[in-house]
Copies of this chain bind each other. A is one copy, B any other.
Amino acid sequence: MARPDRGTTLIDVARAAGVSRQTVSNAINAPHLLRAETLAQVRSVIDRLGYQPNRSARSLRTRQSRLIGYCVPRPNPDRLGWVLDEFLHAVADAARGAGYHIVVFTPDSAQRELDSYATMLQTGGADGFLLTDITHRDRRPGWLRRRGVPFVSYGRLPASAGPAWVDVDGAAGVAAAVEHLVGLGHRRIAFLGWPEGHRVGDDRADGWRSAMAAHRLAATLRGYTDDTITAAAEEAGRMLDAARPPTAVIAVSDTVAVGALRAARARGLAPGRDLSVVGFDDTPSAALLTPPLTSVSQPLQEAARLLVEMLVARLAGRRPERRSVLLEPTLVVRGSTGPPPPGR
């Protein structure tokens, strides 16, 4: 194996591989354009000759790092891990196909979340950003837009942010859960959600309200909780201790659903038999719970592919063909839902 030889040029590689200079350039910058055999052959020559095209020299010419910045959400032990594994993998896969890589970073501190974005920009560490976990009054979209920095968001944005987002239709997901439960015979279907004013949560609650109305069922059993297992278990407990408790609970997230399962079990109720519970997100833990949790699943692969496609178009100075995409989620039915107990 040859040690890298700083004197080897792209022309040397093209000659040795018997291909054009453009083909060598593509092998490095746009490998997806080449046939697998050609790519393998050029790569083996690059490797043999120890050719090192310098990303930095290229970046200086194009003013691009070909890096997409992604600020990784901080894990919380009282919350189910978000679907980071699968999402990150899907995003990295899609980026590779477009000749980009994902550079992950963490916030400097909760108080100064924008500082970490500023550092990435100031050092040329990323050409654009992928945002997730968009919160109510998120300062990032406006901040990036004012600076003319390309970004896309997994989670819808207000029109003022110059939207480039992909989101999952939360209302449709929860409506599908209502249909499933009504089909099983439930009528007292509660919604255990976050306090109002949180866009994602309000959207999911709306799906419950309108689907209940479509079946002429009263949407009165509404609980409010933070997105932690502990708080959700307390609020679910209050709902179950009421004079006329629900026979089914749709939770705004899998974390909240785990709280509902705990509250049921603490009262001697068997989830799936005495109380049906539906979650949202289909986190990796959902299938492992006892009973396995019925949950609304997000199409992560498709979301990742679209997000990268839209961001890459923006980075190339093009308008993305679609500026916002709402994807349909799927209800995954498991053992935590069943017919209501007899006589209820």
Q: Please report A residues at the B interface, Cβ cutoff 8 Å.
A: 1, 3-4, 28-29, 31, 40, 43, 46-47, 51-60, 63, 65, 67, 72, 74-75, 77, 80-82, 84-86, 88-89, 92-93, 96, 101-106, 108, 112, 115-116, 118-125, 146-148, 229, 258, 265, 284-285, 287-290
Q: Can you list 5 A-B contacts with CB-CB less than 8 angstroms, sorted by A residue number?
A: A43-B115, A47-B118, A75-B89, A93-B106, A101-B103
Given A56-B124, A80-B284, A285-B288, A104:B102 Cβ within 8 A: yes
**Nearest-CB distance from A52 to chain B (Å)?**
6
What B residues does A89 contact at CB under 8 A?
A: 72, 74-75, 106
Number of copies of this kind of chain in the complex: 2
Contact partner of A147 (CB less than 8 A), chosen from B1, B31, B81, is B1
Query: By the criterion CB–CB under 8 Å, are B124 and A55 in contact?
Result: yes
Query: By the criterion CB–CB under 8 Å, are A46 and B122 in contact?
Result: yes
Query: By the criterion CB–CB under 8 Å, are A28 and B103 in contact?
Result: no
Task: Closest B residue to A123 by CB, please name it.
Answer: B55
What B residues does A116 contact at CB under 8 A?
A: 96
Separation of A116 and B59 alpha carbons in the complex (Å): 20
**Nearest-CB distance from A53 to chain B (Å)?**
6
Closest 10 A/B residue pairs (Cβ): A55-B124, A56-B59, A290-B290, A285-B285, A81-B284, A56-B60, A75-B85, A92-B106, A103-B103, A56-B56
Task: Closest B residue to A148 by CB, please name it.
Answer: B3
What B residues does A51 contact at CB under 8 A?
A: 122
Task: Closest B residue to A149 by CB, please name it.
Answer: B4
